[in-house]
A and B are shown apart, each in its own frame.
Chain A
């Protein structure tokens, strides 16, 4: 069953791209953006050849590999039959990856 990854970036979700849900199969690549952030890129919802959907997770310094490993695990999780997987939900203070403390969403499409 396809998993769907849920993110919110604000304590109050009331603006463009404050929240996002992506199919796990649309996650294309994870890579560091800085010493304390990892970018997770998703297939563009608009279907154009430019990345417009990027989630940036803020975490413990130099902990990118563990963040990527945890995200892979969430995308493949079989611990639950529920397809809805919360990764980082700032609105509700839920971060299901150790060391992750914040989330930013860029969705320009």
Chain B
């Protein structure tokens, strides 16, 4: 078998607040607006999809609520408390694809580019495939830059075969070498 690389993509998903006196509500910068790529206004997201800590201690689900993109603590925070909200990893938050299942790169606009892989659930490749949607700064060359970086990721020589393509949580990846500034990453995985 010819060696193939494994291409890693991860969303951004954490926000830290320094509480003001008696603060109970913490509004997340979601949907690519700063701290989270997930859109928490989506009904499919709920309290189980976030973890909240107060000064390093987990705030139990019964001690907080979560609606749209606002976390509300049952007990008000003390001024200076460090509240950290983190996305709980799940299918759509990160994924590692086989390079030899890569299908292509396509521009959607000068700020949106998509990358497709053969769907993991589709042995006959006859249904919808897996897709990564990248939102980036306006650049007429974006698709070419991303396509070139994808070729580099697919063919790069590494000891493990594991390649960071775009890890927005750690601000790492071959795509960052394009000079493009990425503001959102959405993973649409079929299974």
**Do A49 and B91 have beta carbons less than 8 Å apart?**
no
**Do B96 and A68 have beta carbons less than 8 Å apart?**
yes
Contact residue among A23, A31, A65, A71 (Cβ-Cβ distance under 8 Å from B189): A31
Q: Which residues of B contact A30 (CB under 8 A)?
A: 6, 95-96
Q: Across the interface, name the chain A residue whose C-beta is closest to B101.
A: A28
CA distance A84 to B40 in the complex (A): 43
Interface residues of B (CB under 8 A from A): 1, 3-6, 8, 10, 51, 88-91, 93-98, 100-101, 117-124, 126-127, 130, 159-162, 167, 189, 191
**Do B3 and A32 have beta carbons less than 8 Å apart?**
no
Q: Which residues of A contact B3 (CB under 8 A)?
A: 76
Secondary structure type dominating chain B contacts:
loop
How many A-B pairs have beta carbons closer than 8 Å: the answer is 98
**Do B10 and A73 have beta carbons less than 8 Å apart?**
no
List the 5 closest pairs (A to B, CB-CB), nearest first. Answer: A32-B89, A72-B6, A76-B161, A29-B120, A2-B1
Q: Across the interface, name the chain B residue whose C-beta is closest to A54.
A: B191
Q: Which residues of A contact B5 (CB under 8 A)?
A: 72
Contact residue among B8, B90, B126 (Cβ-Cβ distance under 8 Å from A68): B8
Contact residue among B8, B120, B121 (Cβ-Cβ distance under 8 Å from A65): B8
Check A27/B91 contact, CB under 8 A, given A73-B159, A73-B161. Answer: no
**Do A49 and B126 have beta carbons less than 8 Å apart?**
yes
